[in-house]
Amino acid sequence: MTLTSFKTRIRQSIADENLQLALDNNAQRRRDGRLAAFASLPDYKERRARAHAIKADVIANLDEYLYKFIAKVTENGILVHRAADAAEAVRIVLEIVKDLPQRSQRLALSEAEGNTKDSFVPLRDLRGKKLVAKSKSMVAEEINLNHALEAAGIRVVETDLGEYIVQLRGERPSHIITPAVHLRRGDVGQLFHEKLGIPYTEDIPILTNTARKVLREVFLTADIGLSGVNFGVAETGTLCLVTNEGNGRMCTTLPPVHIALMGIERLVPTLDDLALMLSLLPRSATGQKLSVYTSLIHSPRRPPSTSLGTGADPDGPFERHLILLDNGRSALRHSLLAESLYCIRCGACLNACPVFRELGGHAYGSIYPGPIGSVISAALVDPNFAYLAQASSLCGACKEACPVDIDLPGLLLRVRGGEGVKRKDVKRNPAGIGLPASVKLGLKAFRLVAATPRLFAVLQTLGGLFSRLYSPRRAWMRLPAWTGWGYSKDLPRLAARPFRARWKNVKQSIKETSRQVDRGQVDKGQVDREEVGLVDQFTRELTALGGQVHLVPEGELSAKLSEFLRSKGVNRVQADESVAKYISGIPAIREPDASTWLSTSPTIRAGVTGAVCGIAESGSLLLISGTGQTLTASLLPEVHVAVLKTSEILPNLADALRRPEVRAADAGVIVTGPSRTADIEMTLTIGVHGPGELHVFLIDDSETV
Amino acid sequence: MPETVQLFVTCLIDTFFPHIGEAMVNVLNRAGVRVDFPAAQTCCGQPAFNAGLRMDARALAMHTIRVLERPPRSQKTSEVCVVIPSGSCAAMVRHGYLELFKDDPDWLARAESLAKRTYEFSEYLVDVCGITDPSTGLRQAQPGSSGRRLDAHWEGKLTYHPSCHLLRGLGVDRQPRALLATVQGAQVVDLPHGEDCCGFGGVFSVEHPELSAEFLKRKIANFEKCEAPTLVVADTGCLMHIQGGLQRQGKSQRVLHIAEILAHKA
């Protein structure tokens, strides 16, 4: 990757009309979405400052936090591996994969259904290969994991809709949050027509549903689920993973083995800190108060008869691995660019950046594009990427958008100044890296002149003269395009007499003022916050996301719930133990096996669960796995019904994360609305991998509490 | 005795737009402030700093600090305010110098002392002189007077482009807008997506001309949307860039420095 090829890609991106339309669309919607989401957070500035301070503390004391985190994760039963660089991380993954037996279900399935029309293209050539279902992970992109797995004869399928599209095209993501941001619906229609054999369509719900069908089979038959980690919590060993479509939940719940990849910097000290970060990440990334699914993972499925419960958890992988990747992060941490490690990978700086808006992600060449990418790519991906830092007007829109207040323009300036990471294998970057020699020479000459005021004045006068010779009539000179400036604008002639020469003739008369000045009214903008009841707030938030709330007296729950299920045409349900008693007249199953979900028309259309609590500020539900409670009931069926008491609705996320059940559970998830995606043209589509319908039966127990 | 400020006029105004410097002196005088111009000043070093040539930037920063440390003739102390008619140059002196000398305690102390007394032009008029609201000014007007006003007059529509380094670098936005609101006869209209960069960015405009051109195209298109004939800026870099684009496209709209508007009288 060279500077010259970067410049070529810049020209290509600007000339690509399709790309420009897609990027314009993205920039506007993302910006509006982010601003709207933050309007609901009146103490945003304080939160941002606190988040900055928390990350600063974590990075300054990273060794201690890592030690604590690893001890806790290990205690929870997850196998921890540390990788110093990309090659080591890849090797660890390969070893884990190679040691596994293949899943018998898939073999049985491919024998039974291998030749039917419903079997889809990606698995047709599987023949004995192991299958990895992969959820979005920037760390995996950083270490180029897919390539290494495929080379080792392992089939990897990306399951985030955007990533899946990009993978089918043989590309890499062009944005860290919306990987297919460079494409329009017609591109996806053509792709699915060619690769999946469906008739060409631009109908986004049809395209999404096609991907759902294909990927459902991948989730259920994969040998391994691979995911990234958004946050690791040092005090509890929690792995927090945020997705909207539900693919992250699938990959971390269904396959027998889960591998999580995580950069060592992605830690927060406590669950309270996690709540703070979660109030910032989805708002900054997608303009949501919370993403649809916030997974909280602690342990693999526990063996029967542990001290905690009477039996095994009904679902979850038998084995979980965590790979902690350094790959240049320690070097970054000890450099003047350490602040870049505060990044929570929300992508807000990309969406705010006017350069990204023109280029999209691919032109950068690095898997980390945009302002943050221009700072970290040289340290984490390839030292040659230092030249990316020059592609910025230093407008500061990135810093303003950053939810953890990273001084991105300041860091870009440090990279330009050659103050980035020093590496043994690479010569220290020279100052002014990425600048052509001519520009450097010009600036150095200018400095020599400007440090000598008399010479400066002489050259100003000479310049004034020459510019009049060059352009005798026009006050604005037309310079040729090769000068850079002349590419799109004219340059004024230098003044015949500069200010310093005119200063002698400037006469000053100081005005003595005595008149009364009008005072502008200071608008204090008093806001009276309406006290909204928690139940109302919960209902309003969930309804806004497309969920439905049914408020029922306790005595009528059973009748209403059963009637509701029948009205939906449900004749079998998957139900948690705690709520199965409310369902009458419909067979309830606790743990359907995988084949139930693999049939082309699953007979179980609804899953009924309890919930630990509700969260009023975002209309969310907290669910956990455990004895008698599955995470699949809220994930695999088309309709998810949750039963919750009004007294269990808590004001905010931090309150929910303080519930003791969170720490004790093997895994939990915060569900905020039905499954959704906006990966194709930023168009919201409901029901990707998870349920398309979410109903909460709220038992009114306000009288009894 | 009226208060005195040191004018750091910036190399762009000095070389290309001296009349803006004169307008600025006029406005400061009307605000009751005497202006001193340290003649040995040249460039603050921002181009070299932004390009990453820190040694070169440091040389010019040292030169500028030395020049501005010399007390004005009329004053015994050098502790007078420095006024700069450009957001990016003011940000360079206020923030850039601290970064340049972060490993050099002696120069860092000198840079900090300069940073503390440095103001961008509109910021100085509003926050120090209290032009728009005397109760918020740091300095009281002359004894016996109850406030200062500029009595600027401009006929027609104006719109304001907040320069990146002024808006996000220094956090100065309220001040220029408040000053424009005092201009009699002027109708100030909103510039759509005003906070977007115009694509100047110093060396960026020469080094990445294609990107810079795209930013400029959007800026001019938004300027045309608001149908004002005049765009006001408080940074000469943006002025030169946007006006240069208008000239190239053969457009008749003008870009003016806020000092030119404030200096204008009926």
Same domain assignment for residues A370 and A221: no
How buried is A134 (Cβ within 10 angstroms: 0-12 exposed, 13-18 middle, 19+ buried)? buried
Nearest to B40 among A413, A453, A519 (CB): A453
How buried is A632 (Cβ within 10 angstroms: 0-12 exposed, 13-18 middle, 19+ buried)? buried
- Please indicate, yes or no, if residue A328 is contained in any of the structural domains: no
Q: What does the pLDDT average to over B48-72?
A: 94
- Closest Cα in chain A to B131: A517
Nearest to A494 among B16, B50, B217 (CB): B16
pLDDT at A74: 97
**CB atoms B53 and A440 under 8 Å:** yes
Q: How large is the angle between the packed helices A62-75 and A44-60, nearest 10 degrees?
A: 90
**CB atoms B197 and A393 under 8 Å:** yes
Contact assessment for residue B101 and residue B64, using Cβ atoms and an 8 Å cutoff: no
- Please indicate, yes or no, if residue A284 is contained in any of the structural domains: no
Q: Of A269, A290, A312, which residue sits at a domain end?
A: A269
Our count of domains for chain A comes to 4
Same domain assignment for residues A170 and A195: yes
- Please indicate, yes or no, if residue A83 is contained in any of the structural domains: yes
Which SS3 state, helix, strand or coil, does residue A461 take? Answer: helix
Q: Write b or e for each residue in A535-568: b if 16 or more Cβ atoms lie within 10 A of its Cβ, otherwise e.
A: bebbbebbeebebebbebeeeebbeebbebbeeb
Residue identified by tokens 């053969």 is B250
More confident residue, B140 or A408: A408
Q: List, as one string, the DSSP characters of A333-375.
A: HTSTTGGGGG-----HHHHH-HHHHHHTTGGG-SSS-HHHHHH
Domain boundaries defined on chain B: 3-136, 153-263
Residue A685 β-bridge partners: A677
**CB atoms A394 and B165 under 8 Å:** yes
CA dist A203 and A631 (Å) reads 31
pLDDT at A306: 46
Q: A45: domain range?
A: 40-269
Mutate to test the interface with A, among B24, B68, B214 (most CBs of A within 10 A): B214
CA dist A672 and A653 (Å) reads 11
| pLDDT of A160 higher than 90 | yes
Within chain B, what is the greatest distance between any pair of CA atoms? Answer: 57
Strands A613-615 and A620-624: antiparallel
Q: List, as one string, the DSSP characters of A572-624.
A: -EEE-HHHHTT--SS-EES---HHHHHSSS-S--EEEE--SEEETTTTEEEEE
Residue B220 tokens read as 């001019």
**CB atoms A391 and B29 under 8 Å:** no
Residue A199 Cα distances to A10, A163, A196, A212, A595, angstroms: 34, 21, 9, 16, 28
Confidence of residue A113 (pLDDT cuts 50, 70, 90): very low
CB proximity under 8 Å: B 221-260 to A: 240-241, 243-245, 247-248
Q: Which of B159, B158, B160 is nearest to B186 (CA)?
A: B158
- Please indicate, yes or no, if residue A308 is contained in any of the structural domains: no
Establish how many alpha carbons lie within 13 A of residue A584's alpha carbon, considering only the half-sphere containing its beta carbon: 7
- Please indicate, yes or no, if residue A551 is contained in any of the structural domains: yes
- Closest Cα in chain A to B209: A484
Phi-psi region of A429 (alpha: psi -120 to 50; beta: other; left: phi over 0): beta
CA dist A494 and A465 (Å) reads 8
CB proximity under 8 Å: A 520-539 to B: 520, 522
Q: Which CATH class is domain B153-263?
A: alpha beta
Confidence of residue A31 (pLDDT cuts 50, 70, 90): confident
- Please indicate, yes or no, if residue A687 is contained in any of the structural domains: yes
Q: Which of B149, B91, B142 is nearest to B115 (CA)?
A: B91
| pLDDT of B260 higher than 90 | yes
pLDDT (tens digit per residue) in A287-309: 999 999 999 999 998 765 444 44
- Please indicate, yes or no, if residue A254 is contained in any of the structural domains: yes
The ipTM (two decimal places) reads: 0.94
Instruction: Show residues of chain B in contact with A483, CB under 8 Å.
Output: 206
Q: List, as one string, the DSSP characters of chain B.
A: --EEEEE---HHHHHT-HHHHHHHHHHHHHTTEEEE--TT----SHHHHHHT-HHHHHHHHHHHHHHHHSPPTT-S-S-SPEEES-HHHHHIIIIIHHHHTTT-HHHHHHHHHHHHTEEEHHHIIIIIT-SS-GGG-SS--STT--------EEEEEEEE---HIIIIIS---HHHHHHHHT-EEEEEEPPTTTTS--S-TTTHHHHSHHHHHHHHHHHHHHHHHTT-SEEEES-HHHHHHHHHHHHHTT---EEEEHHHHHH---
Same domain assignment for residues A377 and A415: yes
Q: Write b or e for each residue in A2-26: b if 16 or more Cβ atoms lie within 10 A of its Cβ, otherwise e.
A: ebeebbebbeebbebeebbebbeeb
- Closest Cα in chain A to B215: A354
Q: Of A269, A284, A311, which residue sits at a domain end?
A: A269
Residues 6+ apart with CB under 8 A from A633: A574, A575, A576, A607, A608, A609, A640
pLDDT at A516: 35
Same domain assignment for residues A177 and A102: yes
Which SS3 state, helix, strand or coil, does residue A690 take? Answer: coil
pLDDT at A685: 87
Query: Side chain identity at A199, as an amino acid letter?
Result: P
Q: Which of A607, A540, A618 is nearest to A249 (CA)?
A: A607
Residue B209 contacts A where some CB pair is shorter than 8 Å:
yes
Instruction: Show residues of chain B in contact with A397, CB under 8 Å.
Output: 164, 168, 195-197
**CB atoms B52 and A418 under 8 Å:** yes
Contact assessment for residue A667 and residue A253, using Cβ atoms and an 8 Å cutoff: yes
pLDDT (tens digit per residue) in A629-676: 888 889 989 999 999 999 999 999 999 999 999 998 899 999 999 999
pLDDT at A520: 35
pLDDT at A108: 44
Q: Among B4-8, B34-38, B87-91, B149-153, which is the least confidently predicted range?
A: B149-153
Same domain assignment for residues A35 and A157: no
Nearest to A498 among B18, B203, B205 (CB): B18
Residue A435 contacts B where some CB pair is shorter than 8 Å:
yes
- Closest Cα in chain B to A417: B52
CA dist A396 and A404 (Å) reads 14
Same domain assignment for residues A160 and A103: yes
Percent of chain A with pLDDT over 90: 65
Confidence of residue A425 (pLDDT cuts 50, 70, 90): low
Residue A301 tokens read as 């499925």
Residue A4 tokens read as 């010259």
Q: Of A427, A454, A485, which residue sits at a domain end?
A: A427
**Residue spans of alpha helices (H) in A40-125:** 44-60, 62-75, 86-98, 104-113, 121-124
CA dist A250 and A136 (Å) reads 12
Nearest to B29 among A440, A488, A510 (CB): A510
Same domain assignment for residues A54 and A194: yes
CA dist B160 and B231 (Å) reads 6
CA dist B43 and B64 (Å) reads 7
Same domain assignment for residues A375 and A457: no
pTM: 0.90
Mutate to test the interface with B, among A483, A511, A519 (most CBs of B within 10 A): A511
Same domain assignment for residues A688 and A635: yes
Q: Which of A326, A344, A353 is nearest to A88 (CA)?
A: A326
Contact assessment for residue A700 and residue A646, using Cβ atoms and an 8 Å cutoff: yes
- Please indicate, yes or no, if residue A659 is contained in any of the structural domains: yes
**Residue spans of alpha helices (H) in A381-493:** 397-401, 408-416, 437-450, 453-470
Which SS3 state, helix, strand or coil, does residue A232 take? Answer: strand
CA dist A493 and A499 (Å) reads 14
Nearest to A512 among B17, B18, B145 (CB): B145
Write the CATH number for A552.
Answer: 3.40.50.10420
Chain A nearest CA to B156, separation (Å): 22
Query: Side chain identity at A187, as an amino acid letter?
Result: D
Instruction: Show residues of chain B in contact with A354, CB under 8 Å.
Output: 196-197, 199, 215
Q: Which of A322, A243, A280 is nearest to A669 (CA)?
A: A243
pLDDT at A521: 36
Mutate to test the interface with A, among B142, B204, B238, B251 (most CBs of A within 10 A): B204
CA dist B44 and B67 (Å) reads 11
| pLDDT of A112 higher than 70 | no
| pLDDT of B100 higher than 90 | yes
For chain A, how are helix, strand and coil distributed in percent, rounded to 5?
Answer: 45, 15, 40
Same domain assignment for residues A364 and A444: no
pLDDT (tens digit per residue) in A165-210: 999 999 988 888 888 888 889 999 999 999 999 999 999 999 999 9
Confidence of residue A524 (pLDDT cuts 50, 70, 90): very low
Q: Which contiguous run of DSSP H or E holds residue A548?
A: strand A548-553
Chain A nearest CA to B194, separation (Å): 12
Cα A590 to the center of its chain, rounded Å: 33
DSSP label of A103? P
Same domain assignment for residues A139 and A205: yes
Same domain assignment for residues A47 and A35: no
Q: Among A201-215, A227-241, B38-52, which is the least confidently predicted range?
A: A201-215
Residue identified by tokens 């200010």 is A499
Residue B169 contacts A where some CB pair is shorter than 8 Å:
yes
| pLDDT of A242 higher than 90 | yes
Contact assessment for residue A314 and residue A629, using Cβ atoms and an 8 Å cutoff: yes
**CB atoms B208 and A391 under 8 Å:** yes
